[in-house]
Amino acid sequence: MNELEELRETRVSFKDLFEFVPDALVVVTREGSIVQINKQAEIMFGYSKNELPGTAVEVLIPERFRELYIEHLSKNMSSSRPLESGLELYGRKKDGTEFPAAVSIGQLQTEKGMVAVSLFRDITEHKHIEETLRESEIRFRSVVQSAIDAIILADSDGNIISWNKGARIVFGYEEEEVLDKPLTILMPERYRDAHIKGLERVRTTGKSSYIGKISEMHGLRKDGNEFPLELSRAAWKAGDKTFYGGIIRDITERRQSEEALRASEMKYRGIFENAVVGIFQISLEGRLLAANPSITKMLGYGSPEELIAEITDFRKFFVEPGSRLQLLRTIRTGGILTDFEAQIGRRDGSKFWVLMNATSLRDSSGNVTGLQGMWMDITDSKRAERNFQGLIESLPDAIVAVDKDFNILLVNAQTEKIFGYTRKELLGKPYDLLIPERFREAHARYCADYFSQPSIKTMSLHRSAMAKHKDGSEFQVEINMSPFETEEGIIVVTDIHEITRK
């Protein structure tokens, strides 16, 4: 019996253990010839138990790893160490496919001599998990590094172990400056004692009232300047250690915006409260949403709160039904009211006139939700307007107002009487309708010069001022011209006194 056969006989002494090991076992001689394999090796490599004995062990190893494997095998056989592990390479199946394997090599003293036992473990799944974890870590690091917020991780002692680009921008430190440094370097002195006590409490009790919550505090930059920040904390266990994570957002601009908004609100609140004009907001249904003190006083109520509480439909204040309908139409269509005059009824039943400008209220989606506007009391100006109109109508002379294009804007009753035209026939018509044709060209030049240098002037009888009646007859007149400035420009008011009957 040769040495190989004698060694093969030794398998009976450890057969049970040999077959039930969950990894592939391959027994080889000092020269690297396979003596025997177990059932798991048959499954792993695809060979039957009788195919491999006497075959060089390299058949189970891809060519690129054979030298490494033989080196470790020889080293183990020549040393006193019973087991060498930690070797990772690839195994090769009978069909030529490869798989990652962890290999441990041990010595076994038998009656026939020393042999090596190679334990092969298929680590395909392990490698897949490692690769998945590696890809996950790469993705995590990519997300963390690209985040505009500071993302900082710390160990159970509160020392920094991870520092992203956002943290560098927010705090001003490079990563190598802060790794293994305490988190306290990032916070003003007034926060540090509470932070240290909080860490100790978590280590002792495992509990924290801040984990999972968002809070606002101040951070400390590398240059020593403080800034407001928003902090979201997290914690997790890895073995017996606790790790912490924080997402930090610099809210300096937000605080400045909030402060600017508060200042703006205070300013506009002051305007709203102290404006002499009435300011209001109403819903689509006409419910009063907001009212300032001026409109409250105009309507005869004691306070804006009382007004809002009592009024369910703001449109009822409008005396004329037509005004209510126009207001309703403006609200529904999202339109605009400009210089809209309306008569309003007070709480006590008295009435007054307002000039109103309003525009639609819209939500964030652009949908019309109501109307906001302001009005001013024009009762006195309306009264003055009526008085002025009454005065114009009662004058014994004809009053004609014309614009720069010499079109008639206004006439009084005496104009109708003297010239024989109705008011409707004159308004909007050229002024030279009232002048004999032979004087029109010269009169037009005179009026053009007058508009360029307006002043109070008299065209007397000696200047042969003549006017023309609707029936074509002519009569002498005395004309007084006065300029009047309006928002639309200069208009000329002409007083025409009939001389013929004087």
pLDDT in tens, 481-498: 888 777 777 888 888 888
Please list the residues that pair with 28 across neighbouring strands: 34, 116
Type of residue at 223: D
Instruction: Work out the average pLDDT over 63-80.
Output: 83
Retrieve residue 146's tokens. Answer: 């690209």
- In which region does residue 469 sit, left (phi positive, over 0), alpha (psi from -120 to 50) or beta (all else)? beta
Please list the residues that pair with 372 across neighbouring strands: 281, 359
Q: Does the structure show a pLDDT above 50 at 502?
A: no
- Averaging pLDDT over each range in 208-217, 264-273, 391-400, which range is the top one? 391-400
Quote the pLDDT of residue 81. Answer: 62
Q: What SS3 class is residue 211?
A: coil
Instruction: Let me know if 443 is exposed, middle or buried by CB neighbors in 10 A (0-12, 13-18, 19+).
Output: buried
Instruction: Work out the average pLDDT over 405-423.
Output: 89
Q: Does the structure show a pLDDT above 70 at 10?
A: no
CB-based contact 19:38 (threshold 8 Å): yes
Q: Does the structure show a pLDDT above 70 at 501?
A: no
Sign of the dihedral through C-alpha 134, 139, 142, 148: negative
pLDDT band at 74 (very low <50, low <70, confident <90, very high): confident
Retrieve residue 342's tokens. Answer: 């309306």
Domains 3-125 and 275-380 share a fold: yes
Quote the pLDDT of residue 129. Answer: 87
> Which sequence spans correspond to the domains of the chain?
3-125, 142-254, 275-380, 395-498
By percentage, how much of the chain surpasses pLDDT 70? 92
Q: How far apart are CA 105 and CA 118, in angstroms?
A: 5
Q: What SS3 class is residue 391?
A: helix
Please list the residues that pair with 438 across neighbouring strands: none
Q: Which of 14-18, 357-361, 431-435 has the lowest mean pLDDT?
A: 14-18
Instruction: Work out the average pLDDT over 451-466.
Output: 59
Quote the pLDDT of residue 486. Answer: 76
Instruction: Work out the average pLDDT over 37-65.
Output: 90
What does CATH list as the number for 3-125? 3.30.450.20
Quote the pLDDT of residue 3. Answer: 59
Class of domain 395-498: alpha beta
Instruction: Work out the average pLDDT over 316-339.
Output: 82
pLDDT band at 455 (very low <50, low <70, confident <90, very high): low
Instruction: Please report where in the chains the tokens 């525009």 appear, as a residue.
Output: 359
Quote the pLDDT of residue 11. Answer: 47
Q: How far apart are CA 158 and CA 184, in angstroms?
A: 8
H or E stretch covering 25: strand 24-28
- Residue 450's alpha-carbon distances to 195, 463, 467, in angstroms, are 85, 16, 19
Q: How many CA atoms lie within 13 A of 219 on its CB side?
A: 27
Other C-beta atoms lying within 10 Å of the C-beta of residue 447: 18
Q: Which of 16-20, 186-190, 204-208, 386-390 has the lowest mean pLDDT?
A: 16-20
Q: Which of 14-18, 340-344, 365-369 has the lowest mean pLDDT?
A: 14-18
Q: Does the structure show a pLDDT above 70 at 164?
A: yes
Retrieve residue 172's tokens. Answer: 């001003």
Q: Does the structure show a pLDDT above 70 at 459?
A: no
Instruction: Work out the average pLDDT over 194-203.
Output: 84
Laid out side by side, the sheet with 226-238 consists of 160-163, 150-154, 241-250, 226-238, 214-220
Q: What SS3 class is residue 454?
A: coil
Quote the pLDDT of residue 6. Answer: 58
Q: Which residues contact 502 (CB under 8 A, 6 or more apart)?
A: none
Length of the chain: 502
CATH number belonging to the domain at 142-254, selected among 1.10.260.40, 1.20.120.1460, 3.30.450.20, 3.30.70.100: 3.30.450.20
Q: Does the structure show a pLDDT above 80 at 1?
A: no
Q: What is the CATH architecture of 275-380?
A: 2-Layer Sandwich (3.30)
Sign of the dihedral through C-alpha 237, 241, 242, 247: negative
